[in-house]
Structures are given as structure tokens and as C-alpha cells.
Amino acid sequence: MTVAGAPLSLDSIREQLTTRIIGRHLVVHGEVDSTNRAATVLAVNGAPHGTVVIAETQSQGRGRLNRTWISPPGVNLYFSILLHRISTFPIIPWLSLFGGLAVVRATEHLSGLRSRVKWPNDVIVDRTYPALKLAGVLAEATERAVVIGIGVNVNMAPDAFPPELRPIATSILMETAQPVDRGALLARVLWEAEQLYDTEQPLEAGMSAYREACSTLGKTVQITFISGNQLEGTAETIAGDGALCLRRSDGALLEIRAGDVVHLR
Ligand code: BT5
């Protein structure tokens, strides 16, 4: 067992890993531009299914649509899971939804903190309005592989966030006042992910668990599309393929596959 604050090392992570596939091949960087980019390069070079790339800090950590993921050293988790596109693994929308669910489950297991997913793949603490972002997931697909990048704010102090993020972001430490061993949390997220990606388990069970953990359902939401167009409605359910089903005020039911969601009420 390592202690909170200890650097992440190959040995300390390996000691705590309980997975069969995910993380059996591990690459640990002190600093990298982006673990998603590094994992994509490894995928092209034939890295095994289940490879995990971890970094203490990222110089160009990225969110969706080329946004920045703030990645200070030594306090958080930044990692990417590389999965080959093999027929026994579920399709891409599930992979990215389940990344957020794995973080929710692992966080509660290790710290007792109850977080929720905001569709599609933010992890938030929603006891206040607006909710605070604890983790983000960025799934990117290449021809041969899917890379699921996960950033979790673990032991980050409020003043480590840039001022514009302070009102909208949080960490496990900020919520519970207790530091968490990052190696243990990483090992647990990978274990939860492996359970969810295991096709011996019915996918529908994972989707039901996702719906239960989803803070978006039942809320009035505003969706902004890549085009800048916006829509408002009530989030009614998540379809079996991961789409958000939105009820408009005129009664129409729309299936949304991508967009930025704001919980209005
Ligand atoms: C995400 O994008 O939430 C996906 C973030 C994925 C990060 C991981 S870290 C490991 C892997 N390697 C990478 O390069 N990326 C992945 P999006 O929904 O677009 O949210 C981005 C927005 O979240 C930013 O524009 C900020 O407003 C906010 N943000 C940035 N850094 C944050 C942080 N550390 N904590 C909370 N919010 C943050």
C-alpha cells in the first residue's frame, strides 16, 4: 500500500492492480503532453489490448473539442486505457459512458464520496448548483483502437485551480478533507472498468447502473451542439445505445448523440 502524496510508480501501481487485462501493460510517465496522444501512438505501434498510460502531469492535457484539461503534477490522476477494436468489447458510446461510471464507483469505494455522471461523461458532485466537476472522460477512436482518457481531481487544493475553474470544479480532497492514495484509486477505477467492459456481463446491467448514477435524467437541460445551435428540454432517459432522449416542450422526443449539456434545473 502506498500513501497519499507518494509519487505514482510502476511498482506501486502493479502491487495494487487486481485486473486481468486492463493495466497489465502499464506505461508511467513523469510528464507527457497528453496520455491520450501517447496511447494513440502506442496503439499505432501495436501496444497490447488493455494497455494503460499514466502521467504525473500533462503539458497539453485535453478535453473535448480541443479544450484544455488542467493537469498539475503529483496530486491527480491522468490516464488513458487503450482497447483494441475487437468484437467482444462493446461499442464506443458505451466505452466512454462506462469510463465515468467506473470513476463514480471507485471514488465512492475509496473515499465514501458520492459523485454522479453528467451525460455523457463528466463526473460531478451535484449537492450544490451549479454542480462541481470532479473528473472528465475523453474517448477517442482510431482505426484499430479506442483510447479512453480519464482525468480525476484527487488531492488537488482549491488554489491549484485557475480562478475561472474554482466555481465549477472540485477534488476528492476538497469534498472529504481526506487525501486519497492515487495508486489505490487508479487500481480500483481500472477494476471497475474491467467489470463494465466484460462482455460476460450483460451490457444492459451496465446501462441500468449508468442511468441510476446519471444526474442528468429528469432535469431540464440545455444542449449546445458543435455548430453552436442550442436546444432545451427534459432529459427523459438514456437509450440502449447511449443516446440522451430529450423531451421538447412541444412533446417531441429527440435522441442526442453528442453535445455539451448544462443542467438548468
Ligand atoms: C473533458 O472534456 O471533461 C475530458 C477531460 C479528459 C481529460 C483526460 S486526462 C487523461 C487523458 N489525456 C488527455 O489529454 N485528456 C484525458 P470537456 O467536457 O471538454 O471539459 C473540458 C473543460 O473542463 C475545460 O474547458 C474546463 O472548463 C474544465 N476543466 C479543465 N480542467 C479541469 C479540471 N482539472 N477539473 C475540472 N474541470 C476542468
70 lines ligand 1 (CB under 6 A): yes
Mutation test of ligand 1: which of 34, 54, 69 has the most ligand atoms closer than 8 Å to its C-beta?
A: 69
Query: Is pLDDT of 256 > 90?
Result: yes
State the pLDDT confidence band at 90, using cuts at 50, 70 and 90: low
State the pLDDT confidence band at 91, using cuts at 50, 70 and 90: low
123 lines ligand 1 (CB under 6 A): no
Residue minimizing CA distance to atom 29 of ligand 1? 69
Phi, psi at 27, each rounded to 5°: -125, 120
Task: Please state, rounded to an integer, the average pLDDT across all residues of the chain.
Answer: 93
Residues 6+ apart with CB under 8 A from 69: 58, 61, 62, 63, 78, 136, 138, 151
Cell of 255: 435522441
Q: Furthest-apart CA pair in the chain: how many Å?
A: 57
State the pLDDT confidence band at 89, using cuts at 50, 70 and 90: low
Mean pLDDT of 98-123: 97
* 251 CA to centre of ligand 1 in angstroms: 34
- In order of their start, the domains of the chain are 10-213 (3.30.930.10), 220-263 (2.30.30.100)
The predicted-structure confidence for 234-245, as pLDDT tens digits, reads as follows 999 999 889 999
The predicted-structure confidence for 127-183, as pLDDT tens digits, reads as follows 888 999 999 999 998 888 999 999 999 999 999 999 999 999 999 999 999 999 999
12 lines ligand 1 (CB under 6 A): no
* 138 CA to centre of ligand 1 in angstroms: 8
**Ordered alpha helix ranges (H), 88-136:** 92-111
262 lines ligand 1 (CB under 6 A): no
Q: What whole-number distance in Å separates Cα of residue 175 and Cα of residue 121?
A: 20
**59 within 8 A of 134, measured Cβ to Cβ:** no
179 lines ligand 1 (CB under 6 A): no
94 lines ligand 1 (CB under 6 A): no
149 lines ligand 1 (CB under 6 A): yes
